[in-house]
Amino acid sequence: MSKPSLSQQVEELRRQLDETNATLRAIRTGEVDAVVVDGPDGDQVYVLKGAEQPYRIFVETMSEGAVTLLRDGTIAYSNSRFAQMLQMPLEQVIGASLFSLLAPDYQDRLQPLLDRALQERCAGIVPLLPRGGTVVWADLSMCPVNLEQERGICLVASDVTERKKTEELRAYLASIVDSTEDAIIGKDLDGTILSWNHGAERLYGYSAEETIGRSISILCPPERAGEALDILQKIGRGESVERYETERVCKDGRRIQVSLTVSPLRDLEGRVEGASAIARDVTELKRSEAELARQAAELARSNAELQQFAYVASHDLQEPLRAVASFTKLLAERYQERLDSDADEFIAFAVDGARRAQRLIHDLLAYSRIGTRGRPFAATDCETVLQNVLADLSAALEDTGGHVTHDPLPVVEADETQLGQLFQNLIGNALKFHGTEPPCVHVSADPIPGAWRFSVRDNGIGIPPQFADDIFEVFRRLHTSAEYPGTGVGLAIAKKIVERHGGRIWVEPSPGGGSTFCFTVRAAERE
C-alpha cells in the first residue's frame, strides 16, 4: 500500500479535529453527558456517558466484584458480583463503608491501603466478612480515579478464599514435610531432584540448593548406580514399589542404610510425572539387629555347649561314681563293726555321699536330655498318663497316706514320656512337701484359647512368694536334704519340659494353704 500523500494526511487531521470540536461543543451545550477519568497514560480524558453503556454491561457481567470508593471508603458504586460476595442486597452495599464490611481485626489495615490507592495502583488481600459470617478473602486491585466531586478509588475484587485455603493447606503440609525427621525427596521420572526437605538435608548432608536440579543418582553408591533410576522406571510404568532397604552415600562419603518408601507423584490428569521418596536412616537399627542376631547365635552356641558339657560330665561321671558307690558299699558290708566307731561313721558318710552324688548325676543327665532326647509330639491322653504316674507313685502314696483326685483331663499335643515325667515331678513334690496333714493333691485342666491350663494343687507346706521363680532353677532348694530328700533338679526338668512344649509354668499359693503348680500345654489338633 502506498504511503498517503501529504494533502491526504492534512485532510484526515482536519476531519478528526472537526469531530473533536463537535464533541466538545456538544459537551459544553449539555447535549451529551460525560465524566472525566484518568487515561491510560495518566492524562485526564472525557468518557462520554453515552459511550459508557458497553463498559457498564462488561462491569456487570464480570466474574470479579467492581467497586468505586469515595476517599473515606464509602462505596459509591458496586456491581452485583461484589454484593453477591458479601451476601448482601446491592442497595445495602452501595452507600455502606468498606470498613464495616471487613473482619474486625483487619479494619486498621485498610486505611493505609486506601491512602495508597488514592495515589497509585496497588493491590492487597483483605478478609471481607459477609452477613453469612464466614470470611471471604478478596484480592483487591485498586487505582485512583477522579470522580465528579473528588478523587476516589476504582477497585476490582476477586474471591481468593479457595486459593487461600489451598495455600494454607500447602503451607501446613510443607511445614509437616519440613519438620519431619524423615528425608522426603521429590523427583521427576528422569531422576532430577525437584524438592528436598530439611530431613533430607539432615540425613544426607546436602542442602536443597546443592541438590535441586541434579540427578538422584548422586546418592547411590557406585555398585548400585542404576538402582534409583530403575525404581523410577517402574513407577513410571505404573508398577507399585514395596518399601525396601538399601544403601545410600552422604555428602561426606559416609554410607548409611536407609528404608525407602517410593510413591508416584501425579499431575492433575492423574498421569505419573515423578515420584516422592521417604527415606529413614536405619543404620543403627540394622547394626543393633545384627548385634542381636550375633548375640542370639552366641547364646544358642554356648547353650548347646553347656548342654553338651552337662551331658558329657554327668554321663562320664556315672562310671567312676558307680565304682566309688559299689566299693564303699562293699567296704560297709565287710568292715562294719570290725574297725572302730569312727571308721564306721566315715564309711557311712562315704556311702551316703556316693549315693547322693549318683542321684545328682542321674537327675542332671535327665535334665540335659530333655531338649535333645525328646520324642516328637503326638495326641496324648492325660488321663492315661496320670494313671501310669500314680501307679509309679503308689509307694509314696502309701507311705504318706496321701491321695490324688482329678477332674476329667484332656488330650493334648505332647511327648507322652516327658508329660509323664512332668506329672511325676509335680505330684511327687506335692506328696513329699506335705505338712502335718496327709497330702491331698488335686489335678485339674481348664481350656484357654488353643491350649489347656493344668493345675496341681496340694495342701502342703507352701512356698514363700519371693522364691516362686527361684525354685525352677537347677539345684535350687529351699530345704536341706536332711529335712526333705532331693537334688533340686525336679522343677528345672518340669520347666524345661513345659517350655519344650511351648507353654509356661508357675506356682501360686493354694487357697487355704499349700501350693498350686500351673502349666500350659497346646491342645491336640484332632480334639
Half-sphere exposure of 254 (CA within 13 A, CB side): 11
Q: Which of the ranges 128-136, 184-192, 394-402, 481-489 carries the binding residues for ligand ADP, by CB under 6 A? A: 481-489
Candidate residues 265, 461, 506, 509; the one interacting with ligand ADP per rule CB under 6 A: 461
- Tell the smallest beta-carbon distance from residue 461 to ligand ADP (Å): 5
Q: Which is nearer to ligand ADP, 112 or 435 (CB)?
A: 435
Does 421 participate in binding ligand ADP (rule CB under 6 A)? no
Which residue is listed with cell 559416609? 254
Q: Give the pairing type, strands 403-406 and 440-448.
A: parallel
> Considering beta carbons, is residue 187 or 477 the nearer one to ligand ADP?
477
Residues 515, 520, 521, 524: which binds ligand ADP (CB under 6 A)?
515
Closest separation between CB of residue 220 and ligand ADP, Å?
60
Measured distance CA(234)–CA(241) in Å, rounded: 7
| Radius of gyration from C-alpha coordinates of the chain | 49
Residue 441 burial class via C-beta count within 10 angstroms: exposed 0-12, middle 13-18, buried 19 and up? buried
Q: 232 and 275 in contact (C-beta within 8 Å)?
A: yes
Question: Under a CB-based contact definition with an 8 Å cutoff, are residues 205 and 180 in contact?
Answer: no
Q: What are phi and psi of 313, to 5 degrees?
A: -60, -50
Grid cell for residue 420: 509323664
The residue sitting closest to ligand ADP, measured at its beta carbon, is: 486
Question: Could you tell me which residues come within 8 angstroms of residue 521 by beta carbon, excluding any fewer than 6 positions away?
Answer: 412, 413, 414, 419, 451, 452, 454, 498, 501, 503
Residues 140/167, Cβ–Cβ less than 8 Å: no
* From candidates 458, 497, 505, 523, binder to ligand ADP by CB under 6 A: 458
Residue 353's φ and ψ, nearest 5 degrees, are -60, -45
Q: Which of 477, 498, 505, 521 binds ligand ADP (CB under 6 A)?
A: 477
Bridge-partner residues for 506, per DSSP?
Answer: 518
Is residue 486 part of the contact set for ligand ADP (CB under 6 A)? yes
Nearer to ligand ADP, 111 or 481 (CB): 481
By CB under 6 A, tell whether 143 contacts ligand ADP: no
Q: How far is the CB of 321 from ligand ADP (least distance, A)?
A: 18
Q: Which is nearer to ligand ADP, 490 or 503 (CB)?
A: 490
Residue type, position 342, single letter: D
Does 437 interact with ligand ADP (rule: CB under 6 A)?
no
Which amino acid makes up residue 70? L
73 lies in the binding site for ligand ADP (CB under 6 A)? no
SS3 assignment for 283-335: HHHHHHHHHHHHHHHHHHHHHHHHHHHHHHHHHHHHHHHHHHHHHHHHHHHHH
Q: Kindly state the smallest distance separating residue 472's Cβ from ligand ADP, in Å.
A: 7
Residue 351: φ, ψ to 5°? -65, -45
Q: Find the part of the chain contacting ligand ADP (CB under 6 A) among 180-188, 337-345, 477-485, 518-526.
A: 477-485
Q: Which residue has 555398585 as its cell numbers?
A: 223
Q: How far is the CB of 484 from ligand ADP (least distance, A)?
A: 6
By CB under 6 A, is residue 460 in contact with ligand ADP? yes
The piece of 118-126, 321-329, 353-361, 488-496 that touches ligand ADP (CB under 6 A) is 488-496
Residue 380 in the binding site for ligand ADP (CB under 6 A): no
Which of 34/478 has CB closer to ligand ADP? 478
Q: Are 232 and 222 in contact (CB under 8 A)?
A: no
- 65 contributes a contact to ligand ADP by CB under 6 A: no
Q: Which is nearer to ligand ADP, 343 or 360 (CB)?
A: 360
Question: Which residue lies nearer to ligand ADP by CB, 318 or 516?
Answer: 516
Binding mask 152-191 for ligand ADP (x = CB under 6 A): ----------------------------------------
Shortest distance, position 368 Cβ to ligand ADP, whole Å = 15
| Site size toward ligand ADP, by CB under 6 A | 21
Complex with ligand ADP: residue 157 or 494, whichever CB lies closer: 494
Q: How far is the CB of 357 from ligand ADP (least distance, A)?
A: 14
> Per the structure block, which three cell numbers stand in for 69?
470508593
Spell out the residues 6+ positions from residue 274 whose beta carbon is closer than 8 angstroms to its own: 186, 187, 188, 189, 194, 232, 264, 265
Spatial distance between the Cα atoms of 427 and 519, rounded to a whole number of angstroms: 13
User: What is the distance of C-alpha 269 from the center of its chain?
Assistant: 32
Residue corresponding to grid cell 485455603? 165
Q: Find the binder of ligand ADP among 365, 419, 471, 524 (CB under 6 A).
A: 471
- Tell which one of 479, 502, 504, 527 touches ligand ADP (CB under 6 A): 479
Interacting residues toward ligand ADP by CB under 6 A: 425, 429-430, 433, 458, 460-461, 463, 471, 476-479, 486-492, 515
